[in-house]
Chains A and B, each alone.
Chain A
């Protein structure tokens, strides 16, 4: 039985680059799911489409054409709802042999429809925290009043005084000391870490079923990052909130995530349980995952003053997506036997073990099941 809280199916989010008259295929057929109560980590380099996938799920993509197809299914109170329900009538996609050639989209109609679908979902069911927390809070209003605003909007606490008590309670829960004093502080009077704590409080105060954390530690000091990760881990244990954690910081994802999805060039290249995907001795793993893991600076490397490992080549240009495997140009494990296949045909995502999927021609499971 399908019990996933959030399920993306073949989600495609494109952007149009007017100067080049080309589409940026930011999210190109992503399917993933988040089980209730788990933390799913999405890992990838910048430009791999991980943030855009999350923003699409929250209906927050504003540039055109944006989401052009797929399903976003959110299960609340046992009922699954497609958050893209009925939106296909606003968009017409012209494809030629598997590639999108033109998109016609009624942006205004789409926007209006998304707003009605998202009513009561965004902020209430799906809450988000962002990178650079200091700029995510309104500088002209005190932290407390912003917190009170979301509490009164999303919970049945409507009275001014009770909402304030609840706000102070939440500030306390995100370990802000002297919350009563902080309540009246303005964002510019607080540190970045403290702002992120306040943002987390704002997101969680609505008691959402899904928390999307979009690179929550980016833009913070290194020492603060660890504290925020710690806080997220504690809150996860306390509230059991389902979390979609987006980061390029594998160490952080390792600490928090139950399952991991590795994204590259707008597609999922590997997914599975965190322990399995990141296990040091894992044999059947996507070359990109191996490269990502190798690029984590290790204490011994630094001690020996040896070179840090970078992944060779450039991040995939999502405008001119190759026909074959998207990682082919940078892959260092292509063998003569599969070279032609790699260059000409995109591998499907196939199971190499129970609940562990990899998109690579290297593994026999693929060749049998896929081609």
Chain B
């Protein structure tokens, strides 16, 4: 990869800060973010298609004549599964399984994590200790086992699972925010903001969380979404998540896997590829944004 450097003589006041971000950025980061945004766009668009029922075929319509059809079969552009149901329609509908629950998990993690982080960073003292222990507790306990407990205690509902995913995602964000805050509190501009009479609420929410943590939160949101998708699909694969006949990428891989040894690799490979591409997209988006937005301005 060729590294491009931009050197520019300042013609006007602080020209550098006015250079657009994409001109200052490394090409690789742009590629990451570009691909990630493409994936996000595809996922959102497909979600909306599914939500409004605009599907290429009926996802529940079986066809005994066309079991495990390969791609590019007339009428079934992506082939069919073991019951002859249209794979394309089921893949699109499969997004319903994780989209809203994933957003719920991300929202819980962000809001709860920020709150805990603010309390730990701003209040400090025993609150900080308590949050550290909470953190260690969640870290030392396998997440999947915790989720299985919840399933056993309640029922295999994806929203319950995602609440757990959200709560277990809180410590990471709380740690990051608390670190930011304890770093920023020593800065004199926070002290100056207090001296100018800004209420503590404004200083915390606007000057610390909004100005300094927003990029971090966006990055964590994309990474959290990737995580949520991974957990949803693996649970559905194991049979604890979304149940047949409702399609989910996880249970589609599972259903197709029974026919893998017969040479019908496609019905499980298609959703597997979808999972791969999507999670990769969210992860790379988070990574690229991290490189683009974080840690540059202090240097």
Contacts and interface: CB of A to CB of B under 8 A. Distances in A.
A203 B212 CA distance: 23
Nearest to B15: A189
A115 interface: yes
A167 to B, nearest CB: 14
A150 B14 contact: no
B8 interface: no
A230 B149 CA distance: 71
B196 A189 contact: no
B192 A137 contact: yes
Contact of B195 (A58, A138, A153): A58
A136 to B, nearest CB: 4
Interface in A112-132: 115, 118, 120-124, 127-128, 130, 132
B59 to A, nearest CB: 47
Contacts of A110: none
B188 A138 contact: no
A140 B212 contact: yes
B200 interface: yes
Interface string B190-208: 0111111110101000110
A132 B188 contact: yes
B54 interface: no
B191 A149 contact: no
B196 A123 contact: yes
A181 interface: yes
Contacts of A188: 14, 17, 297
Contacts of B200: 115
A138 B193 contact: yes
A113 B297 CA distance: 37
A199 B198 CA distance: 14
A136 B188 contact: yes
User: Among the interface residues B193, B207, B211, which one has the most CB atoms of the partner chain A within 10 A?
Assistant: B193
Interface in A148-187: 149-150, 153-154, 178, 181-182, 185-186
B134 interface: no
Interface in B11-25: 13-14, 16-17
Contacts of B187: 135
Contacts of B16: 189
B189 interface: yes
Interface string B1-44: 00000000000011011000000000000000000000000000
Contact of A135 (B17, B189, B194): B189
B14 A189 contact: yes
A190 interface: yes
A188 B200 CA distance: 25
Contact of B14 (A123, A178, A185): A185
Interface string B285-299: 000000000000100
A122 B195 contact: yes
B13 A185 contact: yes
Which range contains the number of B residues in contact with the other chain? 20 to 34
A122 B188 CA distance: 16
A60 interface: yes
Nearest to A149: B198
Contacts of B14: 185-186, 188-190
Contacts of B297: 139-140, 188
A140 B13 contact: no
A182 B238 CA distance: 59
A153 B191 contact: no
A181 B192 contact: no
A206 interface: yes
A136 B13 contact: no
Contacts of B193: 138
Contact of B198 (A123, A128, A181, A190): A123
A178 B206 CA distance: 28
A136 B189 contact: yes
Interface in A334-370: none
Contacts of B198: 123, 149-150, 153
A127 B195 CA distance: 7
Contacts of A139: 189, 297
User: Among the interface residues B14, B200, B207, which one has the most CB atoms of the partner chain A within 10 A?
Assistant: B14
A135 B188 contact: yes
Contacts of A58: 195
Nearest to A122: B197
Nearest to A128: B195
Contacts of B211: 138, 140-141
A202 interface: yes
A120 B199 CA distance: 10
User: Among the interface residues A120, A132, A135, which one has the most CB atoms of the partner chain B within 10 A?
Assistant: A135
Contact of B192 (A118, A130, A178): A130
A189 B188 contact: no
A138 B187 CA distance: 9
In order of increasing CB-CB distance, the 5 nearest A-B pairs are: A123-B197, A189-B14, A140-B211, A136-B192, A128-B195
16 contacts: A60-B195, A122-B194, A122-B196, A127-B197, A128-B195, A130-B191, A130-B195, A137-B189, A138-B211, A153-B196, A153-B198, A182-B13, A188-B297, A189-B13, A189-B14, A203-B196
Given A153-B198, A153-B202, 17 more contacts: A58-B195, A60-B195, A123-B195, A128-B192, A128-B196, A135-B187, A135-B189, A136-B192, A137-B189, A139-B297, A141-B211, A150-B198, A153-B197, A185-B13, A186-B17, A189-B13, A202-B196
